[in-house]
Amino acid sequence: MEVVKALEELRAHLENTRQFLGITLGFNKEECAVILRKIHALLPDEIRQAAHLHEKAERELNAAKQEAETIIRRAKAEATSVVEEARKEAEEILDHARSEQERLVAETEVVRQAKQTATRIVNEANVEADRLRRDADQYAHDVLAKLESVVTRVLGNVEKGRLELERSLSAPETKSLPEEDGPETR
C-alpha cells in the first residue's frame, strides 16, 4: 500500500538524522514536508470524512454541554429566586399575623383563630415553596434528559462513523493497479 511505503520512507528519513553539538544533521525539512503531503494525498476519503464527523460530533457535544450548563444555571437561579420570594412573602405574612395576634390578644377566641390562620398561612407558604423547589428540580431533570438525548445521538453518529471506517478498512481493495506505462496520477 502506498501510504505504508510513504510512512516507511518518512520513518527512515527521520531515523537517519544525527545529532552533533545540539545540531541535527541529515534532516531535510522540505523532503519531510513532501513525504507528509504525499501521505495526506494517499489517505482514503473515509478517514477525512471520519475526522470531519468527529469534529462535528465534538462541536455538537460541546454545544450541548454549554447549553445544559446554561439551562442548569438559569434553573438554579430561578429556583433560588422563587424560593427567596416565597420566603419573603411568608415572612411578611408571619409579620402581619404577629401584629394581628398582638392586637387581638385580649380576646381569647380571636387569638386562637389568628394562631390557626397564621399556622395555615405558614403551612401554605411552605407547601408552595416545596412545590416550587420540586418544579425547579423537575425542570433541571428535563434539561439533563434532553442533554442525555443529544449526547446519545452524537455518540450514535460517532459510532456509525467509526463502524463505517472499520468496514472500509477491512474491505479488500477493489481498485486495480494501473499498468506500469507511466507515473500514477491521483
CB < 8 Å & 24+ apart, contacts of 7-12: 7/39, 9/35, 10/35, 10/36, 10/39
Dihedral of alpha carbons 48, 54, 60, 63, sign: negative
Q: State how far the Cα of 114 lies from the Cα of 82, in Å rounded to an integer.
A: 27
Question: What letter would DSSP give residue 19?
Answer: E
Highest-scoring range by mean pLDDT, 19-28, 30-39, 40-49, 175-184: 30-39
Average pLDDT over residues 43-47: 76
Q: State how far the Cα of 135 lies from the Cα of 181, in Å rounded to an integer.
A: 76
Q: How confident is the model at residue 184 (pLDDT cuts 50, 70, 90)?
A: low
pLDDT in tens, 106-118: 677 766 777 889 9
